[in-house]
A = this chain, B = another copy of it.
């Protein structure tokens, strides 16, 4: 797979520079670091701040979701690598509007350690902070070891719901509780068809045969559950949905939102082909789909494959999902 870039070591930096140039109403650099993206308006006084952070190469995740009704600041690492604790601390300070800061990010070792370290750093500044980790990838550990699971596309729901909670003026405890509730209510499952190339590494993250796919593979190419011949779309849809339903079991009459997400190269056409099957499976099960998201919400550059996230809704979460939000990649009006 070929890439359009100048210097592989400047891939993340130039990406962020382009983002701030293209969308200056949405994204600005923090004064202290060009690896921290903040809202151009600065921290909002009296609002709980929400920060995230993680590696580059997943746009719109992570920095793309800085915006109204969403996040306040984001620390950005190199491709697929954690940002530093320094940068995370800068992001937390930038997001602080005086009512505390929620750290909301995916469960990856490096990110967790650095965010913990950052939390200790900003405590010295008297910024109150909480943490909610997304660990929605069912393929990455059995239910019994849930806390070891990776965070994947399901985090988009957490950004949206926590963002809406903060935007309406909830306090840190409430925003944190709703973010945690979302994290506990969403499960994801992915299938990978072909790899992407980390610019600094210069070679694909994994190898896979011309007619193979891997169910449960991670967004950085971490091995999945089964590798087998490329199946028809309907059977792929089932492979994504079945393990989620098995664990989450939304009953007849329940309401869910689903995010059917391209990892990058897989076109919208193929997402819709999969969606048909998912819609009919869920209708059969008596489950109503609310505000589905179909598109590229959490990617791995040019990787080919899809992920499915299912969020169980209730009367508390559903209005927050519907609340207005605005970033350069996603507008809920």
Would you give the 0/1 interface string for A259-281, flagging 1 where the beta carbon is closer than 8 Å to chain B?
Answer: 01000111111111111100100
- Taken residue by residue from 232 to 268, chain A's Cβ proximity to chain B (1 for < 8 Å, 0 otherwise) reads as 1110100000000000000000000000100011111
What is the predominant secondary structure among interface residues of chain A facing chain B? mixed
List residues of A (158-214) whose CB comes within 8 Å of B's CBs.
193-194, 196, 210-211, 213
Q: Are A302 and B267 in contact (CB-based, < 8 A)?
A: yes
Measured between C-beta atoms, what is the minimum distance from A206 to chain B in Å? 14
Indicate if the CB atoms of A2 and B210 lie closer than 8 Å: yes
Query: A17 to B234, alpha carbons, bound, how many Å?
Result: 14
Bound Cα distance A17, B274 (Å): 10
Stretch of A3-11, A45-53, A88-96 at the chain-chain interface:
A3-11
Most buried by B among A21, A60, A264, A273: A273
Do A11 and B273 contact each other (CB < 8 Å), given the known contacts A2-B304, A22-B279, A302-B304?
yes
Nearest neighbor of A299 in chain B, beta-carbon distance: B267
Please pick, from B11, B230, B265, B274, the residue contacting A264 in the complex, using a CB distance under 8 A. B265
A103 within 8 A of B: no
Cβ of A333 under 8 Å from chain B: yes
B331, A6: Cβ atoms closer than 8 Å? no
Q: Are A274 and B18 in contact (CB under 8 A)?
A: yes
A270-B193 Cα distance, complex, nearest whole Å: 21
Q: Are A22 and B272 in contact (CB under 8 A)?
A: yes
Q: A274, B1: Cβ atoms under 8 Å?
A: no
Q: Is the CB of B22 within 8 A of A292?
A: yes
Is A138 interfacial (CB 8 A cutoff)? no
Once A21-B279, A331-B331 are accepted as A-B contacts, the answer to whether A59 and B3 lie under 8 Å apart by CB is: no
Instruction: Report chain B residues within 8 Å CB of A131.
Output: none
Residue of A4, A194, A267 contacting most chain B CB atoms (<10 Å)? A4
Cβ of A86 within 8 Å of any chain B Cβ, yes or no, is: no
| 7 nearest CB pairs, A to B | A18-B272, A265-B265, A18-B275, A331-B331, A59-B268, A4-B270, A267-B301
